[in-house]
Structure 1
Amino acid sequence: MQQIWRTEEQATSDQFGYWREVVCDAFVHLNPQRCDAMGTNKPFFGEVEATRYGAVGVAHVRAQAQHVVRGTREIGRSSRSCYYLNLQVRGVGLTRQSGRDSVLAPGDFTIVDASRPYELGFGGDFHQLSLEIPTALANETLKDAENLLPGLFVSGAGGLGAVLSRYVFSLAEELRACSIEEENALMRGFLGLLAQAPATRRAIVVTDRRIRQRALLFAIKSSVGARLGDHDLKPGILARRFGISVRTLHNLFAEDGVSFGNWLLAERLKKSREALVSPDHCGRSIAEIAYAWGFSDQSHFGRAFRKKYGLAPREYRRSLLCR
């Protein structure tokens, strides 16, 4: 039986609260948190299509940027024992469990053990295909599954990883036509192939290092871009959020040819400039607009704006609004 939940059917102020209930109903008890600073004033899109085939569950999750936590508190509220295989279909995802951190590009997947703490992060819109694997089935099929599977990452870029990625898509589509016996046989076959993946894990990570870095940088930029008005966007806070060191964060931006500070300043100036000449913001003062986009020092904003666009904010606004 298929179940579908959509936040767009709720009032804007209720959408994210409803989303919290949805993910807990569809999966296990989780604590999702918004990545923007707009609170209930901004719509939140989230959709889950879930179907159960015997002991195996298949779900498509489409939603906006968020950070999801399953900690000891959440585990205490729902102690369900299963594994979730999460395959990235669109966007970029981050997963952390058992000391293993993974950045997922489309085609990649990772596995989490629902009986242990884990975190998921999405810097922008995303689509994941989630496969629920019963713990009993995994333990019967794989030796040392409890150590092998939690936090396991498989790249879908090529080789065995690409085969496994396509296998997951096929399973999600074909389970509906299978008997319980056929379902178990398919799942055991998949887990058997999966047992070969850890041997190539290190090679996959090294080979795709630059791809992983670009995906992580994209996720960080997407997350920051969704909350430019937050006055607490410090490198240390961002680094902790994404499970990396401050040095790694700065290196990611340096390899992109810009410092984190200069990139953040440019993004905030761009949004401020757009607001200054937007008819929707005619009634707002320059100080209000600057503060809304993360500038707490008006003198600094004025100097930076003039350097970037050649005119002071007031002159720039007047020159365009009077045309």
Structure 2
Amino acid sequence: MLTTASVPDQDKVAYWNNAVSRTLVPMTVAPQGDGPFDGRIATDRLGYLQVSTMEADAERLSRTPALIARSSEALVAVGVQVSGTATFIQDGRRAEVSEGDLVVYDTARPYSFDYPQRFATHVFQLPRRSLGLADSDIRQVTGSAIGSGDGCGAILVPFLATLASSADGYSPAVARQLASHVVDLFATLITELSHPGSTDSDTARNNLLLRVRDHIDRNLGDPDLSPESIARTHRISVRYLHRLFEGEGTTVSRLIQQRRLEECGRELARRGRTVPTVSAVARRWGFANPAHFSRAFRASYGVSPREWRDLRTAQDDNGRSPAPTSAPSSTVIGRPGTGLTPSGR
């Protein structure tokens, strides 16, 4: 809790400016009244979600390009007006915010809040990358007031108000789970508002999922390809990356291994003037450990990599598909006429 209560009157404004900038993001604070200024701000954390409650006299908060340049990370913030009113401006849009309304704003772009009288507000800040949404979607939502009767707003406003009042009472494990739920709700809210009337409310998620799959296909040969490296590249959290794949019938790590095995199987099956060694093929497609590669290949194809290559060679020599030494456990992806397919495990 930071408060001006015990600060000398002549120092209150400077103290408050510093307190708001340290707690939220660097901003300029200009009081609107004539008397001694009064303000207090309390902050808690739920995992990577910061929850702040600010109560103060009439003031104007401004976030300028010069102040933005001093910030190290782009954040998305959601403000819930507890009492009083505000005029919020960002991206050329002006919103009149009433008690119970919600606003979304991007700290990487200029904005301002005008509070004409004493007010209270909850502010939730999270890394923009954790949402996994396109900047264009976020831009469509900023500068608008969202009422508690508007779609996701009806769920979010009371939930966020309760969360802010009890943020210091959760264990670290519960706090992380709550932060995850808040991110999901924020992402859903932004998607709902940025794609009104869309029959596919998962447009942003699906586009990101396609980009991730394409990235995996283009980087299979990198032995360091992992959920962590993929999340860093796409500026999202590992947790959000795993959530993207919850409805895909596989995990990120299993998809990477499955795609590597498919490419190894195709290369070992190709007939050419030179026959590649099993270890060379494994390394080319990102398997750093030959023993692990052999175990994974047998588990998926039902035969060892060497047996697979020899069986394909026999097929090409005889013009017919050889009988497999053991049947794969399922048929997910395969090549016609091979008699063998990877199991996809």
RMSD of aligned alpha carbons: 2.4
- Displacement of 1:79: 4.1
Residue aligning to 2:85 = 92
- Displacement of 1:52: 1.4
Matched, 1:57 2:53: no
Q: 1:82 to 1:158 in 2, by over 3 A?
A: closer
Q: 1:11 to 1:83 in 2, by over 3 A?
A: same
Residue aligning to 1:232 = none
Number of aligned residue pairs: 193
Unmatched 5+ residue regions in structure 1?
202-323
Answer whether contact 1:91 1:125 (CA < 8 A) is retained: yes
Q: Deviations over 1:169-202 (max 9, x none)?
A: 244356534242452144213421442245679x
Alignment-mate amino acid for residue 46 of structure 2: Y
- Distance in 2 (CA, whole Å) between partners of 1:189 and 1:34 is 34
Aligned partner of 2:158 among 152, 155, 166: 166
SS state at 1:28 partner:
coil
Answer whether contact 1:6 1:47 (CA < 8 A) is retained: yes
- Distance in 1 (CA, whole Å) between partners of 2:118 and 2:16 is 15
Q: Deviations over 1:134-163 (max 9, x none)?
A: 11112x156844423432421125654332
- Displacement of 1:126: 0.1
| Runs of 4+ residues over 4 Å off in structure 1 | 141-144, 157-160, 198-201
- Distance in 2 (CA, whole Å) between partners of 1:148 and 1:158 is 16
- Displacement of 1:96: 0.3
- Distance in 1 (CA, whole Å) between partners of 2:54 and 2:83 is 10
TM-score for the superposition, normalised by structure 2 = 0.51
Aligned partner of 2:118 among 109, 113, 125: 125
Unmatched 5+ residue regions in structure 2?
198-345
Residue aligning to 1:69 = 62
Aligned partner of 1:189 among 174, 185, 188: 185
Aligned partner of 2:148 among 134, 153, 156: 156
Answer whether contact 2:76 2:126 (CA < 8 A) is retained: yes
Answer whether contact 1:62 1:125 (CA < 8 A) is retained: yes
Aligned partner of 2:7 among 7, 10, 32: 10
- Distance in 1 (CA, whole Å) between partners of 2:85 and 2:124 is 18
Per chain length, whose mean CA-contact separation is higher, i.e. which structure has more relative contact order (CA < 8 Å, sep 6+)?
1
TM-score for the superposition, normalised by structure 1 = 0.55
Q: 1:106 to 1:19 in 2, by over 3 A?
A: same
Matched, 1:101 2:94: yes
Q: Deviations over 1:250-298 (max 9, x none)?
A: xxxxxxxxxxxxxxxxxxxxxxxxxxxxxxxxxxxxxxxxxxxxxxxxx
Matched, 1:19 2:16: yes
> Could you tell me the percent identity over the aligned residues?
22
Please, which moves more after superposition, 69-78 or 89-98?
69-78
